[in-house]
Chain A
Amino acid sequence: MARLGMVIDLRRCIGCNACTIACKQEHGTPEDIHFARVVTREVGTYPATRRTFLPVLCNHCADAPCVEVCPSGASYIRLDGIVLVDREKCIGCRACAVACPYMNRHFLERGLLRHGYSGDGLSVLEAVKFAEFEEGTMIKCTLCAHRVDQGLEPACVVTCPTECRFFGDLEPEAGRLQSLIREHGGKPLLPECNTQPSIYYLDGEPRQA
C-alpha cells in the first residue's frame, strides 16, 4: 500500500509563503488558521545576518500521537497514510492538538465561522468553504486528499515557485522520494518524538557515494 509523503528542499525555499496562501485558498480556512505555514529564523550577528525558512504542515505520521489519543475515533489514518479528522465524530476535546508535537491541529472556536476576513459577513468563497467546517471541532491539513484522489498534487506543491516540494509515495525504496532522502540526507522534524513523519527535509550537502 502507498504511503504518501513529501520531501521539502530547504535550500530552495525562499520564504515567500506562496504555499501558505495557496493552502488558505484551497481550503478556505478561517482567520488565523493555517494548515501550511513558513516558520522563519534569523541567524548570525549584525551585519552578517540571514534568514532561513522552514515550511511546515501536518507530518501525516505513521505512528500519529493525535490518532492514538483521540477518544472518539474521529482522527484516523487512511490506507494511503493521510491523517484525517471525521468532523461528524469529533467532540472537540482538543487532546489531538495537545499531543501533536508539530502543532498542526486547529480548533474551530464558536462563532469563528460567522464572520469572514473582512468582518462584514462571508465572502462567496468563505460561504462555500466554511460549509465544509463545523464549529467546535478540530481541523487539520488533509494533504489535499480531495486533490490527491483526483490524481493531482497538493496545492502547496503545485504553487511553490522554487519547486522545493516533492510529493509522492514514500514506500518504494527505488522511488523518487526515497532517492532524494537517501542521496541528500533527508530528515524528519523532531525525530525524538518517534512519530514516523511522512514529511522529510533536505538541508545539507548531497551525500558522497
Chain B
Amino acid sequence: MSASEQLPYVIAPHRFAVGFTRQTWWNWRIGAAFFFGEIGAGLFLVSLLTGQALGMAVGYLIVVVGKNTAHLLYLGRPSRFWRAALRPDRSWIARGIWATGLFAISGFALLLPHFVGVELPIAGWGQSLALAVAAASALFIMFYDGLVMKASPAIPFWNSALLPVLCLTYATLGGATLSLMLTTLQGGMPLPALARLEHWLLVANAWLLAIYILRMSRLEPAARQTVHLLLRGRYRRAFLGLVLLVGMVATLLLSRAQGHVAATALAVVIAACELVGDFTLLMVLLKSGLYSPQMAAKSG
C-alpha cells in the first residue's frame, strides 16, 4: 500500500484522485508568524549578546506584536487562543505558546528599565533570572517553527531533524543582519565581529540548505517530488531566484562591502535582500509540502 518507488511526478487535482497532495492548510499567515518569530527572536538574542537595547526592543516587538498577531489572524477561533497552551506535554505548538509567553514577560522586565526608567522590584537575582529566561525562550522561538513542521509525519519533506537547525541558523542570520542595519541607521559603524558572523552564517545556511535538499532528493517519493517542485517545478523561480540569488548570493556580495563603509542605504538593501530570502524560504517550504499518495499512482 505504500507509495512505490516508480511514482510519476503527479499532483492530485482533487481528493478523489491518486497522487501527491499539496499541503494547503498552513498558508501565508502561518508563514508570516514563523518569519516574525525567527527574525524577532534572532534580533533580540543577537542584540542581547552585543548589548544593543534598541535591537532588543525591536526584536521584542516583532515577536510579541508581529508573530502573535499573525497567529491570531490565522486561527479559526482566535478567542480560544489560550487553549493552545494546554498540552505542553505533547504538542510543540503548546510549548511554543509557553515560550512566547515567557519571552513576553521576561523581555518586558528586561526592557522596561532601559526605556521608561522604571525599575521593577526584581533587581539582582530577579534581573538575572529574567535575562536567562528571555535568552532561553528567544532561542526556543528561533527554531520553534522547524520543530512544529518536523512534528508532522504526514509530510516527508518536513520530517527531518535538520529543519529546526536550518530555522535556527536562518533566525540568527536575520537577527545579525537586522542588528547591523539598526547600528548603521543609528549612525554607528557595524561591529566587525557581527559582520563576520553574518558572512559565516550565509555560508553555513547555503551548506545546510544544500545538504537538506540533497538528503531529501534521496528519500521517499513525496520528498523527492518536493525537491523537484523547488528546483525544476512550480516554485523554481521563488526558490532559485529569491531564496538563493537574492537571499544568499546578493546578500553575501553586498555585505562584503558593509564591514568597510557605514552606508545606510546599503545596510537597508542588505537587510531587505536577506529578509526576502528568509520569508520566501519559509513560504516555499510550506507550499511545497506534499502528502504521500495512499496508493501507487501507476502499476500494472
A-to-B contact residues, CB < 8 Å? 34, 37-41, 43-44, 54, 56, 65, 68-74, 89-95, 97-103, 107-108, 110, 134-138, 187-195, 201
Contacts and interface: CB of A to CB of B under 8 A. Distances in A.
A107 B76 contact: yes
Interface stretch (B207-215, B264-272, B277-285, B290-298): B290-298
Contact of B76 (A54, A71, A90, A102): A90
A44 B300 contact: yes
Contacts of B87: 70-73
A71 B84 CA distance: 5
11 contacts: A54-B18, A69-B90, A71-B85, A74-B83, A98-B154, A99-B153, A101-B292, A136-B77, A187-B1, A190-B294, A191-B1
Given A41-B295, A54-B294, A137-B76, A98 B16 contact: no
Classify chain B: how many residues form its interface, as a range.
Answer: 35 or more
Given A92-B77, A93-B84, A103-B21, 18 more contacts: A34-B15, A39-B17, A39-B295, A40-B17, A41-B296, A43-B300, A68-B151, A70-B91, A71-B87, A72-B84, A73-B86, A93-B75, A99-B154, A103-B291, A107-B76, A110-B76, A189-B1, A195-B153
B81 interface: yes
B201 interface: no
B86 A190 contact: no
Of B21, B148, B289, the most chain A CB neighbours within 10 A belong to B148
B20 to A, nearest CB: 11
Contacts of B93: 69, 71, 93, 95
B84 A91 contact: yes
Of B18, B21, B152, B299, the most chain A CB neighbours within 10 A belong to B152
Nearest to B88: A71
A167 to B, nearest CB: 20
B2 A191 contact: yes
B70 to A, nearest CB: 13
A34 B26 CA distance: 20
Contacts of A43: 298-300
A98 B76 contact: no
Contacts of A138: 76
B218 interface: no
B66 to A, nearest CB: 18
Contact of B154 (A56, A101, A137): A101
Contact of B18 (A40, A89, A101, A134): A40
Nearest to A200: B1
A56 B294 contact: yes
B25 interface: yes
A70 B291 CA distance: 19
Contacts of A110: 76
Contact of A98 (B18, B23, B77, B300): B23
Contacts of A103: 15, 21, 154, 291
Nearest to A34: B15
A188 B220 CA distance: 18
Contact of B1 (A65, A108, A188): A188
